[in-house]
């Protein structure tokens, strides 16, 4: 590298990408002794690391087909503005973070073909709609993957993909204190506690309210004194409170995100909607069941399109069902209560032990994913500079 630090143009379009971007920026600053420079689009986490966003990232956080229609012209305008900014400054690399629709819209408008294009968080094309790989191959030079089996899958299509580790293993689970959480919320040390995670979207919470609620009725009968601990997020917390208010057992809704891992660690078992939260339960050492339910028509198309034997990342990495999956028509109260009941009764130790190798394969115990990602980005930049020399 030259004496001048690399200029990296980073683009995040939603809060989860902003968090990844903030961690990556911190790791890049450490790796370069602070000489790295940044431009781009980001939110609070990236701005805290020194990014001056060229426009507010919140403008990109529009979900749903109907919701997005009034904003289409503005989004296209922001794509062109971002691409023009990239061409004007000619950075050493462009790193787009998740938010694939906006990322594609930006990179295909970049006129300078010599700027390395890196997309962080390889899309899960191996799960469904694999034909989209050709679009990624056309628009991006490199993909950075969270899962260990993804580089091999992309390699068969001639796409450079590097494993950097799953960001969830970089979470603050090490600071979790389940005993302190129980004491703070007056949950007896001998009481059984279940961590219930019905989703982070309104639709998820509504669809899972009935099967989860009826399962709690059954489990309460089987385990008198059972306490349900429900970590929630701001956009659904009021809906969650409404759903659980009629449950027959004591419920503790946790709205403070800093207490999430302690809340999990305080529990003997978990019942969770499918998603990243199941990895967090695994990191917290909580045996659990994953469940999901969608509308009948959606379920029909899901079955047609999904090409994988499991939906849970622990199971996919292990190539076996370590965490019970009760999806779609299997997501019934009697099934949920039966399987979770076994875990509460003490059958969860084997699951916790079996989860560990998958977590290690995703990066647990090794260099933090943000550090591995920073190293990958700097290697790509160094290779590009060497080719120009």
Tens-level pLDDT at each residue, the chain (389 residues)? 445 799 999 999 988 899 999 999 999 999 999 999 999 999 999 999 999 999 999 888 654 333 455 668 888 999 999 999 999 999 999 999 999 999 999 999 999 999 999 999 999 898 878 899 999 999 999 999 999 999 999 999 999 999 999 999 998 887 899 999 999 999 999 999 999 999 888 888 999 999 999 999 999 999 999 999 999 988 889 999 999 999 999 999 999 989 999 999 999 999 999 888 999 999 999 999 999 886 555 555 555 556 678 889 999 999 999 999 998 889 999 999 999 999 999 889 999 999 999 999 999 999 999 999 999 999 999 999 999 87
Q: According to the model, what pLDDT value does residue 58 have?
A: 87
- CA atoms of 140 and 122, how far apart (whole Å): 11
pLDDT value of residue 204: 87
**Residues found in the chain:** 389
SS3 state of residue 71: helix
Q: What is the pTM of this model?
A: 0.87
Q: In the chain, which segments carry CATH 3.40.50.2000?
A: 7-165+365-388, 173-361
pLDDT value, residue 104: 95
CATH match of 173-361 with 3.40.50.300: no
Query: Which residues lie below 8 Å from residue 364, measured CB to CB, with a gap of 6+?
Result: 169, 283, 356
As a dihedral over the C-alpha atoms of residue 211, residue 275, residue 15, residue 23, rounded to 10 degrees, the angle is: 150
pLDDT at 233: 86
Which candidate, 129, 173, 77, places its Cα nearest to that of 306? 129
Give me the CATH code for the 7-165+365-388 domain, please.
3.40.50.2000
- Alpha-carbon span 105 to 305, nearest angstrom: 25
Backbone torsions φ then ψ of 44, nearest 5 degrees = -60, -40
Report CA-CA distances (Å) from 61 to 18, 45, 368. 11, 15, 27
């Amino acid at each position: 590298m030259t004496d001048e630090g690399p200029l990296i143009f980073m683009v995040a379009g939603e809060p989860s990408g902003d968090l990844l971007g903030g961690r990556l920026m911190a790791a890049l600053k450490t790796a370069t002794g602070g000489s790295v420079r940044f431009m781009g689009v980001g939110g609070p986490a990236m701005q805290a690391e020194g990014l001056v966003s060229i426009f507010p990232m919140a403008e990109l956080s529009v979900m749903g087909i109907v919701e997005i229609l009034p904003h289409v012209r503005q989004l296209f305008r922001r794509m062109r503005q971002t691409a023009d900014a990239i061409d004007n400054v000619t950075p050493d690399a462009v790193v787009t973070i998740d938010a694939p629709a906006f990322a594609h819209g930006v990179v295909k408008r970049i006129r300078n073909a010599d700027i390395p294009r890196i997309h962080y968080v390889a899309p899960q094309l191996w799960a469904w709609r694999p034909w989209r790989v050709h679009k990624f191959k056309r628009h991006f030079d490199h993909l950075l993957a969270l899962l260990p089996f993804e580089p091999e899958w992309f390699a068969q299509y001639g796409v450079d993909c590097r494993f950097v580790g799953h960001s969830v293993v970089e979470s603050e689970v090490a600071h979790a204190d389940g005993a302190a959480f129980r004491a703070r919320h007056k949950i007896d040390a001998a009481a059984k506690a279940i961590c219930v995670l019905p989703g982070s979207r309104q639709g998820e919470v509504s669809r899972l309210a009935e099967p989860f609620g009826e399962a709690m009725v059954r489990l309460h009968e089987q385990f008198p004194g059972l306490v349900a601990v429900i970590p929630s997020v701001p956009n659904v917390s009021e809906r969650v409170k409404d759903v659980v208010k009629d449950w027959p057992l004591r419920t503790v809704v946790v709205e403070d995100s800093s207490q999430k891992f302690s809340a999990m660690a305080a529990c003997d078992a978990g019942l969770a909607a499918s998603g990243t939260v199941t990895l967090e339960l695994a990191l917290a050492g909580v045996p659990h069941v994953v469940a999901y339910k969608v509308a009948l028509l959606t379920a029909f198309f899901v079955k047609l399109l999904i090409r994988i034997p499991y939906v849970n990342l622990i199971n996919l990495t292990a190539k076996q069902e370590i965490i019970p999956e009760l999806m779609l028509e299997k997501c019934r109260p009697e099934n949920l209560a039966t399987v979770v009941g076994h875990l509460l009764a003490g059958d969860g130790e084997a699951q916790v032990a079996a989860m560990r190798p998958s977590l290690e394969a995703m990066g647990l115990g090794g260099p933090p994913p943000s550090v591995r990602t920073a190293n990958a980005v700097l290697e790509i930049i160094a290779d590009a500079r060497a080719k120009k020399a």
